[in-house]
Structure 1
Amino acid sequence: MRYNALWLALAISGALTACSPADKASTNAATQSSDTATTAALLPEFNKRLDIYYNVDLTADLSGLNVKQRQMLGKLIDASKVMDDLFWRQAFGENKAEFLAKLPEGKVRQFADINYGPWDRLKGDEAFLTGYAEKPAGAQFYPADMTKAEFEGAELADKTGLYSVIQRNSSGELVSVPYSVTYKTELEATAKLLTEASLLSEDKEFANYLQLRAQALLTDNYQQSDFAWMAMKNNPIELVLGPIETYEDQLFGYRAAFEAYVLIKDLSWSEKLAKYAATLPALQVGLPVADAYKTETPGGDADLNAYDVVYYAGHSNAGSKTIAINLPNDEQVQLEKGTRRLQLKNAMQAKFEHIMQPIANLLITPEQRKHVTFNAFFNNTMFHEVAHGLGIKNTINGNGTVRQALKEYASALEEGKADILGLYMITQLMQQGMLDEGVLEDYYTTFMAGIFRSVRFGASSAHGTANMIRFNYFAEQGAFVRNDDGTYKVDYEKMQQAMTSLSELILTLQGDGNYAGVSALVADKGIIKAQLAADLARLAAADIPVDVVFNQGKKVLGLN
């Protein structure tokens, strides 16, 4: 990455204080000039953005897999590729091959491939190619000419559903169409691959999950397969696949996007994580918020495991790459069975080595840099995922689920909750002697360095917005100071106090389903102010990558 530091400071501070996704009408369609198909070119100001991703070969040790397991792995990757194609349709709409073919080979084409379209996902979804307007907040989930007011006033089935697209019928009225109908051909092909893979599985629970997931793709009923996924304990190969997260729908946060991960379980790391799953009920009781906001009890079957990921597809592969997973999202499954937390160790290691450590060496005060460790990064990330299962899923005042009540802000606030509660739980476990890896200063300092890493994801990312809010809140509370030399020093006592008060604020906003309150919080603190923008520009000037991009697939894994 080699781009002008002053430009970044000005551009990012301006772009991220502009209107939020909530203010964008769905009519901001991906309109194109008449000659876009043959003349799309990189906008000059994005020349220096083409190197913000660090290339990493996505590999894992497959020596323990037998012939059938290797064959199954290949089919799971093939199924994931279909998810990738479907996400292109959901996010952009143009045919992927035709779109990429009209771009120059090399960095421009790769950048468009990474971003799944002509918008820079780590720069507020700004268009980086000529001929393209602002990215629609609703992506391709809603008609291009639909306004928020029209949708909110319409009476239609599955209005807030996860697994349907909104279209217009022959009379111009809004209607919902199930994914199983809209994407019928692709989903049938994926279901066939999953069924074939299930016949190769020597683990009965995994085979059952694959068969149920195949059925779910054809029926839009994913709950039974989610329960089956929770029941798996011993499968060495793992698959996460389907329409899962709602981040891509920035208009309402209702519709789920297709994605996939293919993973190999790290048995030794998973074994040492298992003990933390049993702490969830007690951690829920101890949350720093009034009792009304923690009456729900996390499911008792939740577990923690470490994996090497060997393939990303769709939403999980677009822009910034996920390094940990907390699923399923179904609120009923979470309450009855809990969730599974998957730590993607090899991806995490790549980000720590090539991004986190260089950031710490530039922005963390020298005497505290020793406290930025991979162990703390791993555990901070792990307990972030644990924290998704805590708090409350249903509002306390009859406003439905938190997701439905907070609409397009739900994802950003949920990520903010998970970040801050993860650190809160680490603090509690260390004080109780249940977490004996490193010292508390490691976790707080690594957490601070992690804010600088994630805030660079920008306003179009739920994680980026969550980190902006936390940075500004911590600054107001004195949780850190900025030294004269431009480095940051953590005040551990004040950070702990700020962590507790921010946890209470977020949990309360969620439990109340307080849309107006969250909107005000995002407007006030979900921005990058001038000083932080200047410091982020220093990271750019030092050629520190913003994120990673993977060389992946069967050939990289030696499966051919």
Structure 2
Amino acid sequence: MRMTVLAAASALLLLAACKQADTPAEPAAEAEAAAPPQEAIGEPAVAVREQPSRFDIYATVRLTADLSGLDENQKEMVRLLIEASKIMDELFWQQTWGDKAALLSGIEDPAARRFADINYGPWDRLAGDQPFIESYGPKPLGARFYPENMTKEEFEAWDQAGKDGLYTLVRRDAEGKLVLQPYSEAYRPQLEQAAALLKQAAELSGDAEFANYLRLRADALLTDDYQPSDMAWMDMKNNPIELVIGPIETYEDQLFGYRAAYESYVLIKDLEWSERLARFAQFLPELQTGLPVPDAYKQEVPGADADLNAYDVVYYAGHNNAGSKTIAINLPNDEAVQLAKGTRRLQLKNAMLAKYNQILVPISEVLIAEDQRQHITFDAFFGETMFHEVAHGLGIKNTLDGSGTVRHALKEHASALEEGKADILGLYMIQKLREKGEITEGELMDDYVTFLAGIFRSVRFGASSAHGVANMIRFNFFEQAGAFSRDEASGTYRVNVPEFEQAVRDLSQRILTLQGDGDYAGVDTLVAEMGQVGPQLQADLDRLAAAAIPVDIVFEQGAEVLGL
């Protein structure tokens, strides 16, 4: 399969975009508190207004898909899975803020109230978590996973097995001592409801593998043992409906990066596209061998069952719906599952096309040199997003000294460095596949220029986002390497091909080495030195804001939107 299918399929994406709505969404009924209340952060008062307003940085997209190929049982499954997803949304509110209804009802400004709903709290996720309600202070780095009065030093000195677990909250007992509380205990009522919905959906499934996954995932919600369902998820191949649900990513835990946040995606698989894309997974072992690092850093072999699929997403909930929206997924995160079976890469093509049309193309018209704008293509954007997810399967998962996983060694920096690795190795993979003649659509210059424009898109996510930090590091690294240059007269950037190619190799080597060495101090220095937006870049980003180019998208979604 050649990459020509990417352009042809863009016409099939059933995604209607509209101007940012002025009327806020009605707040949902508050769920029963899932964890012991923590110290109040403050009372809502007056929204901080800017010109142009930060409240207008999201473009609204109506999230639809073609369901004509589904039978009545399958459509009912989609409805049930959306209901289960709404529970994940409630739980994420509990993990990141607390009482959603109390927060939203206390904000008088409709635009500010809607912005708080989008951000799951009074902090702007795409502006370094700065508060946009005057009476609120900084967002706690540990969200609500930890007591707010707990210090890092207290936690690190705490002699407690499993304190770095993915699925436990840290609380204080009656004597003020730190204790662990499993998610399955803290959020029991909501999780029982979600598990029941998954089991109902399983009864309607005509695909035995998907039904098995739903039942195992329901059990996992109630036991915090997700590995069996992750293994079963890797075995699914032909199910037309897809569900990703549970506590998955650890980005919300900015204190240590240990604890996972609840989220959910409901997706409709494009079976034809998935079949065409899946062939690229076969090149993973060869690409791993060719990584530009010593053999010790590439000795792990990606699982042979890795696959690649394309979807239309019909519902986002929880962590993935907060702030910037995910357009591709690489899971499971469990390193043991990855080494045993590989990972699955899910390309959310309808959401991807919305971001390309509404954000990336307008950015290029402001910041990319006019004679290079012809190289901004959806094919390149899709390919880079796709291979970003594939690249998560490359590199190294465990440190060379045998002390444990890279994720644990690098703590709160692990996510940002992993995203940076996936970005740069994704481009490396495209280079190598072009050399092999496996990708023939377009040219390498399309990949480079679209990649540069993509840095400007993602760096706007801010320092509170792992993707934002990764892009800041890459921008500064590439700038120092001369990979691009800025024309002072026009304020536009152009790719310098030889230097760009070398920068891809050099940054790949640096990131993989830091990961393999488990070099926390080295990564901390890298983030401190290169994870910042400089004055010139900030001025150029301000030009994008002045041009009213959206930073990201927000969805009008649900069973009603789908006609269910």
TM-score scaled by length of structure 2: 0.92
The correspondence for 2:110, drawn from 106, 111, 121, is 106
Give the 5 Å matches for 1:223-234.
223-234=227-238
Correspondence 1:254 to 2:258: yes
Paired with 2:386 and 2:316, the residues of 1 have a C-alpha distance of 19
1:436 is aligned to 440
* Residues 343, 382 of structure 1: 8 Å contact kept: yes
Paired with 1:251 and 1:46, the residues of 2 have a C-alpha distance of 32
Correspondence 1:57 to 2:67: no
Q: 1:104 deviation in Å?
A: 2.6
The correspondence for 1:277, drawn from 275, 281, 286, is 281
The correspondence for 1:315, drawn from 315, 319, 330, is 319
Q: Which moved more, 1:244-253 or 1:492-501?
A: 492-501
Matching residue's letter, 2:444: L
Moved over 3 A (4+): 29-33, 44-47
The correspondence for 1:177, drawn from 175, 181, 184, is 181
Aligned length: 528
Paired with 1:65 and 1:52, the residues of 2 have a C-alpha distance of 35
Q: CA RMSD in A?
A: 1.3
* Residues 52, 546 of structure 2: 8 Å contact kept: no
1:26 is aligned to none
Correspondence 1:499 to 2:504: yes
Q: 1:391 deviation in Å?
A: 0.4
Q: 1:31 deviation in Å?
A: 4.5
* Residues 30, 134 of structure 1: 8 Å contact kept: no
Correspondence 1:123 to 2:134: no
Change in CA separation of 1:352 and 1:30 when aligned onto 2, cut-off 3 Å:
farther
* Residues 306, 342 of structure 2: 8 Å contact kept: yes
Which runs of 5 or more structure 1 residues have no equivalent in the other structure?
3-28
Higher relative contact order (CA 8 A, sep 6+): 1
* Residues 329, 389 of structure 2: 8 Å contact kept: yes
Paired with 2:445 and 2:359, the residues of 1 have a C-alpha distance of 20
Which digits, 9 at most, give the CA deviation of each residue in 1:486-533, with x for residues without a partner? 110001111110000000000000000000000000000000000000
Which digits, 9 at most, give the CA deviation of each residue in 1:169-203, with x for residues without a partner? 12211111110001111111100000000001111
Q: 1:30 deviation in Å?
A: 7.2
2:25 is aligned to none
The correspondence for 1:76, drawn from 81, 85, 92, is 81
Correspondence 1:369 to 2:379: no
Paired with 2:272 and 2:547, the residues of 1 have a C-alpha distance of 37
Which digits, 9 at most, give the CA deviation of each residue in 1:329-369, with x for residues without a partner? 00000001000000000000000000000001111111111
* Residues 238, 264 of structure 1: 8 Å contact kept: yes
2:246 is aligned to 242
- Secondary structure of the structure 2 residue equivalent to 1:161: coil
Paired with 2:483 and 2:165, the residues of 1 have a C-alpha distance of 40
1:162 is aligned to 166
Which runs of 5 or more structure 2 residues have no equivalent in the other structure?
1-17, 20-37
Q: 1:268 deviation in Å?
A: 2.3
Matching residue's letter, 1:196: Q
Which digits, 9 at most, give the CA deviation of each residue in 1:444-482, with x for residues without a partner? 110000000000000000000000000000000000000
The correspondence for 2:493, drawn from 469, 479, 488, is 488
Which digits, 9 at most, give the CA deviation of each residue in 1:76-115, with x for residues without a partner? 000000000000010112x112221222363211100000
Paired with 1:91 and 1:440, the residues of 2 have a C-alpha distance of 41
- Secondary structure of the structure 2 residue equivalent to 1:157: coil
2:530 is aligned to 525
Paired with 1:227 and 1:437, the residues of 2 have a C-alpha distance of 35
* Residues 383, 426 of structure 1: 8 Å contact kept: yes
Q: 1:302 deviation in Å?
A: 0.4
- Secondary structure of the structure 2 residue equivalent to 1:395: coil
Paired with 2:67 and 2:357, the residues of 1 have a C-alpha distance of 23
- Secondary structure of the structure 2 residue equivalent to 1:239: strand
2:8 is aligned to none
- Secondary structure of the structure 1 residue equivalent to 2:56: coil
Paired with 1:189 and 1:46, the residues of 2 have a C-alpha distance of 44
- Secondary structure of the structure 2 residue equivalent to 1:50: helix
* Residues 52, 545 of structure 2: 8 Å contact kept: no
* Residues 31, 133 of structure 1: 8 Å contact kept: no
Matching residue's letter, 2:80: K
